[in-house]
A and B are shown apart, each in its own frame.
Chain A
Amino acid sequence: MTDTSLRTAASHRSLLDRLRAWHSAETPNPAKRVQFDAPLTPWLFLLPQLAVVVVFFYWPSVQAVTSSFYLEDPFGFGATFVGTDNYADALQSSQYASTALFTAFFCLVVTALSLGLGLLLAVKADKVIRGASSYKTLLISVYAIAPPVAGLIGMMIFDLHIGPLTDLAAFFGYDLQVGINYWDTAIALITISVWKQIPYNFIFFLSGLQSVPVSVREAALIDARSGWRRFRDVTLPLLAPTAFFLLVINITYAMFDTFPIIDVVVKDKPANNPITLVYKVYLDGFKGNDIGGSSAQSVILMVVVAALTVLQFRFLERRVHYG
């Protein structure tokens, strides 16, 4: 505990130092120094980016935080300050708890499966010599499919009346009811989401693998006969930066970008089907017109994502070695 707080203090100091150094013109770093004649010029260059961030991130965030403390009529005629009531309502509802639980489960499974399968395919494709490019093209091409289209294709495969997978399950005596049975729908959601994300992971893992130097591989070959050991001790650590980047991206994907897939699979009417927290924010805010409640939920989500990101960078990135 003391150790952590000390380190935080240290990093704060260094940040301040850096800021001070950045401000003073005397910084003894002539090689990297960029010169601007006027102090305003750098800000001018930053302005477009800052404007985008402010308009599309900070301003809506502030709005969301503000309206999460109010109970408001949809048309905006009157808002009553209700303190943290909206948060209490959300957190106390059993429905919210079960949605949060499913979201966690969904993120875990989708991330694990799509990272694992992406890596497996990349390792296998890396070894293929003849026809390598056609394999790669086939694997990557799925990535060109937009999430709603992926959802639609998935929905056709899982359709209650004409879905081939439903028929297949029926052949084995299982009554697959996507849209009615909670876990059947969960299976469909996970399958489609993973299928959509594998090519993305595949591309990055493959390029990561190809950047492992041949000399290192050959040296490893002398040290160990077991392919699995070589992979575990040499390839995997060298892939770590890629894997870490993909982990962050995949969790974000599972939490947010699967929205269109869910929307298509539950057909805009979730009923008892599993949904993620983001979908619930949309449901309550846009379909239910409950702005305060929906804002409170999205603030909770913001906090969770911020915490998750900090955790990832603090505990995982330290184990990652960038080349």
Chain B
Amino acid sequence: MMKTATTTLAFALMGTTVMAQTEISWWHGMGGRNGEVINEISQMFNDAQSECVLTPVSRGTYEEALSSGIAAFRSGEQPNILQVFDAGAATIIAAEGATVAAEDLITAAGEEFDREAFIAGVRNFYADSDGKFIGMPFNSSAPIMYYNVEAFEKAGVEPPKTWEEFEAVAPALKEAGYLPLTASQLTWMMVENFKSRNNQQFATNNNGYDSVEGTQILVTDENQVMMFEKLKEWADAGLFGFYGAGWADNQKPFEQGESALWIGSSGSFGGLQQTANFEFSADFMPYWDAIEGAGTQSFIGGAALFAMSGKPEAENTCTAKFFSFLTSPETQVFYHKATGYVPITEAAYELAKSEGYYDEKPVAEVGIQQLMLEGGEWSKGYRMGFYPQIRTVMEREFNRIFSNEVSVPDAFQTIEDEGNQLLERFSKTAG
């Protein structure tokens, strides 16, 4: 009798808690340490308030997360929040009915939203042409140059600021027994961010931001071709190591202390601290001094969170609360420290600074400083549909360049031709 009463009471209590809490889901594409941090952040959010319960679900890689989100949307089973990576931004932003703009969601829930609170480099990339935030920037990174301190001491040279300086110091590094340079994901480093760091136009229609219709990719210009002719020249001279399209294969020589410089992501810092057992530091990604107006900021990489449409208001309110929670300086600083991704608001950056974090770990500040450099007309990134496929074309052609199958100008002509076909196809699907 007593037992039955207790059970009933327990059920009644459980009932009330379940009734009072709104459950929301978050699909993401992060693995390893970064995936664990997502679980920690969700736990922090759940502990911080009692109305909403957030459940994060890993959906594999960035690309897999986007495709499973799309498949789920088509069958009406979409999560509340979907993480979409930089290259997929055009796809989800063009699908207007699929998402609720983050800014609208937050204001509708009665929370405050201030665009100006975000650092300059993250304001455009996930926003519409009026500057309204469609996606909520989440894990933002910048491509930066890591360097092996000992290598530069041995060679008796300084880490380069520009590619011209690199050309000057590379032979000394080679002499000292190091492979001077490796770089991961040349699509992101040497094309997309080459464009923004050197203030070069990347696509017609204002880099694709203004319209899907008639957007054309621009990669056959002399500067873009020159960058890769230099890379090829360096590779042939043993000054640059190319290990295919995979990220890790190009990171490994640096981790093993074989290469002196590695162009990687600011988000790699967390992992690198564990895997590299030598003293390393970082600086901005080099630019070409010879290009007029170069040296501008890079645009953000990484991913943003999108609130999917078709959800009840109570759940949307919870999503909005979570977005606000994410942008709070405390959460931002926690995430920044745990992963190496940059803080996305000025306030968070100031907080990390005032805590003395950068005195202790100066490398962690490089990414955000690079994003806060002076902007140029073309430094704000791009918006192109079917971009993951365009990247695939680039990866194919880059491998061909380095295995001597094609010349640099021909490779970029192919990229431009196939890229434009894909863009045209995308504008048809979106129209």
Question: In the docked arrangement, what's the CA distance between A154 and B61, Å?
Answer: 22
Contact B73–A267 (Cβ < 8 Å): no
A77-B97 in contact (CB<8A): yes
B413 interfacial by beta-carbon distance below 8 Å: no
| Bound Cα distance from A181 to B403, whole angstroms | 6
A72 touches B399 (CB 8 A): no
Query: Which of B66, B242, B249, B405 has the most CB atoms of chain A within a 10 A radius of its CB?
Result: B249
* Given known A-B contacts A271-B396, A287-B392, A289-B386, A76 and B74 have beta carbons under 8 A apart: yes
Q: Whole-angstrom distance between the alpha carbons of A73 and B256 in the complex?
A: 44
Distance in Å: Cβ of A194 to nearest Cβ of chain B: 23
> Is B30 an interface residue, CB under 8 A from the partner?
no
The residue that B243 contacts in the complex, of A74, A160, A182, A284, with Cβ under 8 A, is A160
Chain A residues positioned under 8 Å from B64 (CB to CB): 286
Once the chains are docked, how many angstroms separate the CA of A205 from the CA of B54? 55
Contacts of B253 in A (CB 8 A): 161
List the B side residues contacting A286 at CB < 8 Å: 63-64, 67
Q: Which of B191-199, B314-322, B342-350, B423-431 contacts A (4 or more CB under 8 A)?
A: B423-431
Q: Give chain B residues whose Cβ lies under 8 Å from the Cβ of A293.
A: 425
- Tell me the residues in window 20-40 of chain B with beta carbons closer than 8 Å to chain A beta carbons: none
With a cutoff of 8 Å between Cβ atoms, the chain A residues found around residue B397 in the complex are 272
- Across the interface, A180 reaches (CB within 8 A) one of B98, B252, B403, B428, namely B403
A289 close to B396 (CB less than 8 A): no
Check B392–A288 contact: CB distance below 8 A.
Answer: yes
| Contact of A270 with B249 in the complex, beta carbons under 8 Å | no
Contact call B392/A270, Cβ cutoff below 8 A: yes
Contacts of B399 in A (CB 8 A): 180, 271-273
B242–A180 CB distance below 8 A = yes
Residues from chain B with a CB closer than 8 A to the CB of A287 are: 63, 67, 388-389, 392
Q: Which of A77, A268, A270, A290 sits near B61, CB closer than 8 Å?
A: A268
Which residues from B are CB-within-8-Å of A270? 245, 392, 395-396
Nearest-Cβ distance from residue B112 to partner chain A, whole angstroms? 30
Are A272 and B252 in contact, with the CB atoms below 8 A? no
Chain B 90-120 interface 0/1 with A at a Cβ cutoff of 8 Å (1 = within): 0100110110000000000000000000000
Whether the Cβ atoms of B74 and A160 lie closer than 8 Å is no
Bound-state CA distance A111–B130 (Å) is 58
| A289/B91 in contact, CB under 8 A | yes
Q: Does B400 contact A (CB under 8 A)?
A: yes
State whether the Cβ of A80 lies closer than 8 Å to any Cβ in chain B: yes
Asked whether A179 and B73 contact (CB < 8 A) given A270-B392, A271-B398, the answer is no
Contacts of B248 in A (CB 8 A): 267
Docked CA distance A76–B76 (Å):
11
Contact A269-B246, Cβ < 8 Å, known A74-B95, A290-B389: yes
B70 within 8 A of A: yes
- Asked if B402 CB lies within 8 Å of chain A CBs, one says yes
* Contact (Cβ within 8 A) A289 B70: yes
Bound Cα distance from A262 to B254, whole angstroms: 27
CB of A236, distance to nearest CB on chain B (Å)? 43
A271 and B395 within 8 A (CB): yes
Q: How far is the CA of A160 from the CA of B251 in the complex (A)?
A: 12
Alpha-carbon separation in the docked complex, A267 to B64 (Å):
14
Q: Given that A267-B246, A272-B396 are contacting pairs, would A177 and B403 also be in contact in the complex, using a CB cutoff of 8 Å?
A: yes
Number of interface residues of B (CB under 8 A): 40
Interface digits, A278-311 against B, CB 8 Å rule (1 contact, 0 not)? 0000011011111011000000000000000000
In the assembled complex, the CB of B387 is this many whole angstroms from the nearest CB of chain A, namely 9
Q: Kindly state whether residue B171 has any CB partner on chain A within 8 Å.
A: no
* A73 in contact with B95 (CB, 8 Å): yes
Q: How far is the CB of A115 from chain B (nearest CB, A)?
A: 32
- Chain B residue with the shortest CB-CB distance to A267: B246
Query: Of residues B256, B405, B429, which shows the largest number of chain A Cβ atoms within 10 Å of its Cβ?
Result: B429
Q: Determine the chain B residues whose CB is within 8 A of the CB of A77 once the complex forms.
A: 95, 97-98
Asked whether B392 lies within 8 Å of A179 as measured between CB atoms, the reply is no
Does B238 sit at the interface, judged by CB under 8 A? no
Q: B244 in the interface, Cβ–Cβ < 8 Å? A: yes
- Expressed in whole angstroms, the Cα–Cα distance for A204 and B25 within the complex equals 48
Is the CB of A71 closer than 8 A to any CB of chain B? yes
Q: How far is the CB of A24 from chain B (nearest CB, A)?
A: 45
Question: Are the CB atoms of A290 and B242 closer together than 8 Å?
Answer: no
Q: How far is the CB of A45 from chain B (nearest CB, A)?
A: 31
Interface contact B395-A269, CB-CB below 8 Å = yes
Inter-chain contact A74/B392, CB cutoff 8 Å: no
B425 touches A180 (CB 8 A): no
Contact across chains for A179 and B244 when beta carbons are under 8 A apart = yes
| A106 CA / B91 CA spacing, docked (Å) | 34
The answer on a CB contact under 8 Å between A74 and B396 is no
In the docked arrangement, what's the CA distance between A18 and B386, Å?
53
Which residues of the other chain, B, contact A76 by a CB distance below 8 angstroms? Answer: 73-74
Nearest-neighbor residue (CB-CB) of B63 within chain A: A287
Which of chain A's residues 231-273 have a Cβ closer than 8 Å to chain B?
267-273
Q: Which residue of A lies closest to B74 (CB)?
A: A76
In the complex, A43 has a CB within 8 A of chain B: no
Beyond A73-B95, A267-B245, A270-B395, is A288–B403 a contact (Cβ under 8 Å)? Answer: no
Residue of B nearest to A82 (CB): B428
CA distance A74 to B66 in the complex (A): 10
A72 touches B63 (CB 8 A): no
Cβ distance A71 to chain B, nearest Cβ, rounded Å: 5
Measured CA separation A215–B249 after assembly (Å): 59
With A89-B425, A180-B242 given, can you name 9 additional A-B contacts, CB distance below 8 Å?
Answer: A73-B94, A80-B428, A180-B403, A182-B405, A268-B61, A272-B403, A283-B392, A287-B67, A290-B389
List 5 contacting pairs A-B, 8 Å CB cutoff, sorted by A.
A71-B425, A75-B74, A75-B95, A272-B403, A284-B389
- The 6 nearest A-B residue pairs measured at CB: A179-B244, A272-B399, A269-B245, A271-B395, A271-B245, A288-B389
Instruction: Tell me the A residues contacting B by CB distance below 8 Å.
Output: 71-77, 80, 89, 160-161, 177, 179-182, 267-273, 283-284, 286-290, 292-293
